[in-house]
């Protein structure tokens, strides 16, 4: 479902608007929280981007809901989005962890962080995040760049590749064919992958048929890419890792981590199905998984679709695993 156009769309194309949203969100976070814990700001913006209002009225309702909710209630809405993400994409549990972790720790975000997260969510909505189709821009790349000081970004070897440069490079190399593999050894938040997927769609090809393998030394950038995989609908054939592509055996490690989390999700779903049958038969279904989803945290207030087990790269057939509808939260 495409995002609605709001009554106050900012000017410019999608990449310009993405930078406008990033600037507004960074400003809101720094004013409310100061530096540090940038993963909470990033995960807040990603959670808002996951919500796709069907029309302008729904967008207005979301804005009002966030405005009237307490910081703690906004935190619950954000956490619910991440529960649904993990139910839909357990194969991305490890790369997405830096963005999800703050919401499911023992103590959770501080009161100050929750207030700043609410302000950041409001800033994203006011700046027009839902006027940008998720396929059309990288919302998280510019934000990650703004949230980090120049010295910190330089130390990590991190430089955001402008969308125009990525598009130009794709124009030189051409779009992937369906069924091909794409390997990105320094992926950042995935700007090159988005440009390749966009070029495929322009030629009538489906990016979900491609095997996407990407690695970066920055766990937070890879976490942003894991969120973008869903926003850009890159499909189930995705392998993301953290490491140095020149020296690390990152593919082997990433495949092992993914198999482990997918198997865990499969086991939990089996247990929950057995408990549901027991309950339907009039019995009692106690245990740690009676209320929880496929991973940490209590059950989401909005049900998430069960996703088929993701495929290993180069598997013959793709499984399920894409976006979800979240307007039922409101």
Q: Give yes or no for a contact between 138 and 22, defined as CB atoms under 8 angstroms apart.
A: no
Q: Give yes or no for a contact between 322 and 88, defined as CB atoms under 8 angstroms apart.
A: yes
Residues ≥6 apart with Cβ < 8 Å to 8: 126, 128
- Mean pLDDT of the 24-34 span: 95
* Selected residue with higher pLDDT from 96 and 269: 96
pLDDT at 153 over 70: no
Regarding whether 230 and 275 lie in a shared domain, the answer is no
Q: Give yes or no for a contact between 196 and 175, defined as CB atoms under 8 angstroms apart.
A: yes
Regarding whether 240 and 274 lie in a shared domain, the answer is no
- Mean pLDDT of the 74-78 span: 97
User: Comparing 57-61, 114-118, 232-236, which segment has the lowest mean pLDDT?
Assistant: 57-61
pLDDT at 152 over 80: no
- Quote the mean pLDDT of the chain: 82
Q: Give the domain-ending residue among 251, 285, 300.
A: 251
pLDDT at 18 over 90: yes
Rounded to two decimals, what is the model's pTM?
0.80
From residue 249, alpha-carbon distances to 258, 278, 316 in Å are: 15, 44, 24
Query: Domain containing 307: what range?
Result: 265-329
pLDDT at 158 over 80: no
Q: Give the domain-ending residue among 223, 251, 279.
A: 251
> For helices 71-88 and 38-50, what crossing angle results, to 10°?
70
* 259: in domain: no
User: Comparing 84-88, 260-264, 302-306, which segment has the lowest mean pLDDT?
Assistant: 302-306
Regarding whether 45 and 131 lie in a shared domain, the answer is yes
Regarding whether 193 and 312 lie in a shared domain, the answer is no
Regarding whether 325 and 214 lie in a shared domain, the answer is no
- Mean pLDDT of the 289-310 span: 38
* 46: in domain: yes
* 202: in domain: yes
Q: Give yes or no for a contact between 129 and 74, defined as CB atoms under 8 angstroms apart.
A: no
pLDDT at 60: 93
Q: Give yes or no for a contact between 207 and 177, defined as CB atoms under 8 angstroms apart.
A: no
Regarding whether 273 and 241 lie in a shared domain, the answer is no
Number of domains composing the chain: 2
Could you tell me which residues are beta bridge partners of residue 181? 211
Q: Give the domain-ending residue among 251, 278, 303.
A: 251
Assigned token pair, 290:
């009676």
Tell me the pLDDT band of 279, cut-offs 50, 70 and 90: confident
pLDDT at 7 over 60: no
- Share of residues in the chain with pLDDT > 70 (%): 78
Regarding whether 169 and 130 lie in a shared domain, the answer is yes
Per-residue burial over 287-296, b if 16 or more Cβ lie within 10 Å, else e, is eebeebbbbe
* 204: in domain: yes
- Mean pLDDT of the 170-185 span: 90
Tell me the pLDDT band of 240, cut-offs 50, 70 and 90: very high
* 56: in domain: yes
* 25: in domain: yes
Regarding whether 158 and 280 lie in a shared domain, the answer is no
- Mean pLDDT of the 87-111 span: 94
- Mean pLDDT of the 233-243 span: 96
* Selected residue with higher pLDDT from 305 and 195: 195
Regarding whether 168 and 210 lie in a shared domain, the answer is yes
Regarding whether 126 and 51 lie in a shared domain, the answer is yes
Residues ≥6 apart with Cβ < 8 Å to 59: 4, 6, 53, 125, 130
pLDDT at 230 over 50: yes
Regarding whether 288 and 238 lie in a shared domain, the answer is no
- Mean pLDDT of the 173-183 span: 93
Regarding whether 301 and 233 lie in a shared domain, the answer is no
- Mean pLDDT of the 314-318 span: 34
pLDDT at 309: 39
- Mean pLDDT of the 36-47 span: 96
* 7: in domain: no
Distance CA 44, CA 38 (A): 10
* 162: in domain: yes
Tell me the pLDDT band of 226, cut-offs 50, 70 and 90: very high
Nearest alpha-carbon partner for 106 in 238, 297, 248, 317: 297
């Amino acid at each position: 479902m495409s995002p609605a156009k709001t009554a106050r769309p900012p000017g410019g194309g999608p990449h310009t608007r993405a930078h406008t949203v990033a600037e507004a969100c960074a400003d809101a976070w720094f004013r409310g929280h100061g530096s540090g814990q940038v993963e909470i700001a990033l995960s807040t913006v990603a959670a808002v981007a996951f919500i796709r209002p069907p029309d302008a009225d729904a967008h207005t309702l979301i804005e009002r809901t966030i405005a009237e909710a307490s910081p703690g209630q906004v935190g619950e809405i954000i956490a619910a989005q991440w529960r649904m993400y993990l139910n839909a994409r357990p194969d991305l549990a490890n790369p997405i962890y830096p963005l999800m972790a703050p919401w499911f720790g023992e103590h959770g975000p501080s009161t100050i962080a929750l207030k700043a997260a609410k302000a950041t969510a409001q800033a994203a909505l006011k700046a027009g995040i839902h006027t940008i189709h998720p396929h059309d821009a990288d919302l998280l790349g510019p934000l990650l760049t703004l949230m980090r000081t120049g010295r910190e970004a330089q130390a990590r070897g991190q430089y955001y590749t402008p969308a125009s440069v990525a598009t130009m490079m794709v124009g030189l190399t051409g779009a992937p064919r369906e069924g091909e593999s794409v390997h990105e050894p320094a992926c950042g938040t995935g700007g090159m992958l988005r440009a390749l997927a966009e070029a495929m769609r322009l030629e009538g090809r489906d990016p979900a048929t491609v095997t996407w393998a990407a690695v970066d030394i920055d766990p937070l950038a890879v976490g942003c890419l894991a969120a973008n995989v869903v926003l850009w609908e890159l499909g189930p054939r995705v392998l993301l890792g953290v490491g140095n592509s020149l020296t690390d055996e990152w593919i082997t490690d990433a495949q092992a981590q993914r198999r482990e989390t997918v198997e865990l999700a499969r086991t939990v779903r089996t247990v929950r199905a057995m408990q549901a049958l027991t309950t339907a038969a009039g019995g009692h279904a106690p245990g740690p998984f009676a209320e929880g989803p496929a991973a940490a945290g209590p059950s989401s207030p909005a049900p998430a679709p069960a996703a088929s087990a993701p495929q290993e790269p180069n598997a013959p057939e793709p499984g399920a695993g894409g976006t979800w509808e979240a307007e039922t939260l409101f």
